[in-house]
Chain A
């Protein structure tokens, strides 16, 4: 049977972002895969060297729309480490609250996209409808649905009033009830099981060899979660439960993320019930003395690392960003061979790829 090469992307209805996956097919089976990225490369690292630290926050927020708060948190944290600052407790709590809300909205987004990829459009509509509740809460807290602008170097920009705290708690309680639709989907829906069980296996050895992080790794049995391994900010006072599966297939990735959604709702409630009093932000100087810092944050897709170096000026000497999607994209070349063409959609959508993060 002749072998053909099927190019998936850069424009493809399944993937919302440009990526090129070249699949060699022998009949219905994938024999090899090659991933090519760079369509969304905007030269962030060089741009940040030409912006002041404060301007950098706005630039970094626009690396990725889905995990924008994680990026600004990691960046602000790195700069605060350069300055040797400990930001006020109230600011840390608000940052963590938005981090968890962002995790919730990202996982709901992912679930909808996976469902649409396997033909289950109803769940896409349900998941994104529930996601609107989270976006409303984020808009109420920060003023923006997607780009929040909540973080500043030294703390946060906006406060939470008692009314907003109550409204957030209400919405989260309603969302917790609605989550039962998604837990049922993962636990009981037979057609979902048939499309996702045993598909797209990622053994633990590959997770370690390729440095895969986040829910993708935890669905294969890895335990690394920066909130537990190296707690930062308000996570130093929070107990973050683990959601680890050993099934290592697309189903396990769905199960892990649905569990994490439940945990995130509980964490959000814990944060708002014990919101500490205090200032919102510290004043920071424009120039930062020479120093280096590494900041790690658990973004919705996994470990996000920022390396920031200052040289005494108003602009950073070097900013390096390592996003969690990079190792996932790399390991796709190992996960796709052996699949039937009908399962490619489930595996690619199930991997929660974010090209904007990867290409920067």
Chain B
């Protein structure tokens, strides 16, 4: 099952250079690259196309520079928006889609990425006593 052409057409107006890729993530996901500055417009385009956009998860990955965010959506099939944030910050999706609230807080906890415009970017999972670096951020030395 693949993301319908109407949705891809709607996204093409916002992300003209993105090429849908069905091979880089196994499991039936259609992957599209999306620069952080176009993220909110992409969501608006998807919701205005009339479909119900279900945000399944936001996966945050450490990248060589900054953080890579994967927005796993479900709109009749899996669509993943790949957002590379070189300055370790991204616009918050929470004002548009409240479902993102806790996923963004968790990404902030685990990787230290800042979400601009998030109403309440406090630690979600980590204790107040936690004083170490973000747990999933790349360490300078690798553990044995």
Q: CB–CB under 8 A between A and B in the complex?
A: yes
Q: Are A45 and B70 in contact (CB under 8 A)?
A: no
- The reply to whether the CB of B22 lies closer than 8 angstroms to some CB of chain A is no
Residues of A within 8 Å of B, CB-based: how many?
39
**A296-B74 Cα distance, complex, nearest whole Å:** 11
Q: Are A330 and B102 in contact (CB under 8 A)?
A: yes
**A293-B57 Cα distance, complex, nearest whole Å:** 14
Of residues 25 through 82 on chain B, the ones whose CB sits less than 8 Å from some CB of chain A are: 25-29, 52-57, 59-61, 70, 72, 74, 76-78, 80
Residues of B within 8 A of A305 (CB): 56-57, 72
Residues of A within 8 A of B99 (CB): 209-211, 327, 330
**A322-B99 Cα distance, complex, nearest whole Å:** 12
**A49-B61 Cα distance, complex, nearest whole Å:** 13
Q: Are A296 and B54 in contact (CB under 8 A)?
A: no
Tell me how far the C-beta of A26 lies from the nearest C-beta in chain B, rounded to whole angstroms: 23
**A165-B129 Cα distance, complex, nearest whole Å:** 52
Q: What residue of chain B has the Cβ atom nearest to residue A322's Cβ?
A: B57
Q: Which of B4-12, B83-91, B118-126 lies on the face that meets chain A?
A: B118-126
Q: Are A41 and B27 in contact (CB under 8 A)?
A: no
Of residues 98 through 113 on chain B, the ones whose CB sits less than 8 Å from some CB of chain A are: 98-99, 101-103, 110
Assuming the contacts A81-B27, A209-B98, A307-B72, asked whether A294 and B55 have C-beta atoms less than 8 A apart, the reply is no
Binding site for A on B (CB under 8 A): 1, 24-29, 52-57, 59-61, 70, 72, 74, 76-78, 80, 97-99, 101-103, 110, 123-127, 135-136, 143
Known: A46-B136, A210-B98, A296-B27. 17 other contacts (CB 8 A): A37-B124, A38-B123, A38-B127, A41-B125, A41-B127, A45-B110, A45-B136, A50-B143, A213-B54, A292-B24, A292-B25, A294-B72, A294-B78, A305-B56, A318-B61, A327-B99, A330-B99
